[in-house]
Amino acid sequence: VSESKRAWHAGESSWKGLQDMNSRSIGIEIVNPGEKKLQRYPKTQIDKLIGLIHFLEKKFKIPFYNILGHSDIAPLRKIDPGKHFPWKELYKKKIGLWVEIKQVKNRELSEEEYHEFLQNLNRIGYQLPKHKNFKTSTLLIIDAFHRHFEPTLVGKKPTSISLFKSKELLKLNKT
């Protein structure tokens, strides 16, 4: 799709309270079986992607922290780019967000911490569900966060690592 045209790359989507990300974003389709086939992204593909993103950031004045994945903006329907996507590597090239935390004893969250974590996700930019499938949708949103920031926890309950990473992201989070 031409840069001058609107694509339907994200479908129904939101970030930081903004709806219809198709009208306010550029989608880059990456061909890779990724998570479903447990394949990592080839270095050549990521190197080309980094070049393209830097070009688009400069051309359209896109801040590094606004580089997101489909699963971030449409977590109820999308899992791409998946848990094998090298967000940490991209962050080292000033693309997207990533945080490292000092070694934390990984443990289950208390009910209070779980609610704090959900609120943090909302403050980071994820839209929390407001409908009858709240529990299922919340799990998908948690998985989206884990896909981007703690891939080893995809499909698992959030832990103290999830909570600490969400707190660190809020320190970096731009509006």
- Which residue carries 């999308």 as its tokens? 78
Catalytic residue check, 29? yes
Q: Choose the catalytic residue: 12, 29, 100, 116.
A: 29
Q: Return the HEC string of 128-141.
A: CCCCCCHHHHHHHH
Q: What are phi and psi of 9, to 5 degrees?
A: -70, -35
Length of the chain: 175
Note whether 57 and 65 are within 8 A (CB): no
- Which residue carries 């890779």 as its tokens? 32
Active site residues per annotation:
29
